[in-house]
Structure 1
């Protein structure tokens, strides 16, 4: 089972995780994939609830907005143990991704493979629309993730 989780909120650049999930879910290539093989999930600032959403997955992709003082639109990619070393400040939400993953590891309730994609945002924005640089990154990331998901599906 592969789960793709878009984390965020419905507002501005923080909605980018949701937008990636929506675009992936709409891809024709995934329309015939059975729900027990692939699930797309939108999570509204889940905190520890992220662990519940990942339960039952062999592979989990997580997409979220990040703030690390990098250039807006830059795409970060981390896997498995590397996620544990992420600074909690990287997340744009209360509970950092690394904290949630550390707890999941402690209770031995994580997918075998965990991949985190974070798109750099400029900071807290009160815009209701995605910035154009973020839209471009979403498009590129969607294409990249589509190929990666197809590879994992072909190994089943």
Structure 2
């Protein structure tokens, strides 16, 4: 999860923490990042990358969205925070370097308040819970399918 301690921008961290509390640590590695460029430090040996971040311009506050990289729609979304290198630029760079996993899914929750000294809004907290629920269901389904293939 990508985030910061500023208001609704915590949503990526909240989603990641909720997922971490529900999954077996051996099945997935969950990280809390401050900036998208931190993804480059550990994505190389990853087969599937799930990114959680705050977004703006995708829908109503608290709404949950999912995209598979690459996707043209992502260009019209504003990603939260003041990152030196945007999430989309980091993914493009990872692709050019041959370090991008085969599957990249981006989950965003629409946010509003990302100023310092603010807490997350109740609507975004609900969105984070809904996103974590959806991600866990998706990952559980994939794990079950993998187990069936190996049986």
Same topology, TM > 0.5? yes
Q: CA deviation at 1:78?
A: 0.6
Match of 1:77 among 66, 70, 73: 66
Partners of 2:50 and 2:105 within 8 A in 1: yes
1: CA distance, partners of 2:87 / 2:142: 23
Runs of 5+ consecutive residues of structure 1 not aligned to the other structure: 1-5
* Alignment match, 2:78: 90
Match of 1:25 among 14, 20, 25: 20
Partners of 2:68 and 2:105 within 8 A in 1: yes
Q: CA deviation at 1:38?
A: 1.1
* Alignment match, 2:124: 134
Q: CA RMSD in A?
A: 2.0
SS of residue in 2 equivalent to 1:104: helix
Q: CA deviation at 1:10?
A: 2.1
1: CA distance, partners of 2:139 / 2:93: 26
* Alignment match, 2:32: 42
1: CA distance, partners of 2:103 / 2:94: 13
Higher relative contact order (CA 8 A, sep 6+): 2
In the superposition, relative to structure 1, how do residues 76 and 69 fare at CA in structure 2: closer, same or farther (>3 Å)? closer
Match of 1:9 among 4, 8, 16: 4
Partners of 1:60 and 1:115 within 8 A in 2: yes
Match of 2:47 among 58, 71, 80: 58
Q: TM-score normalised to the size of structure 1?
A: 0.82
SS of residue in 2 equivalent to 1:140: helix
Q: TM-score normalised to the size of structure 2?
A: 0.85
Partners of 1:85 and 1:98 within 8 A in 2: no
2: CA distance, partners of 1:98 / 1:75: 18
1: CA distance, partners of 2:113 / 2:136: 27
Q: CA deviation at 1:49?
A: 2.2
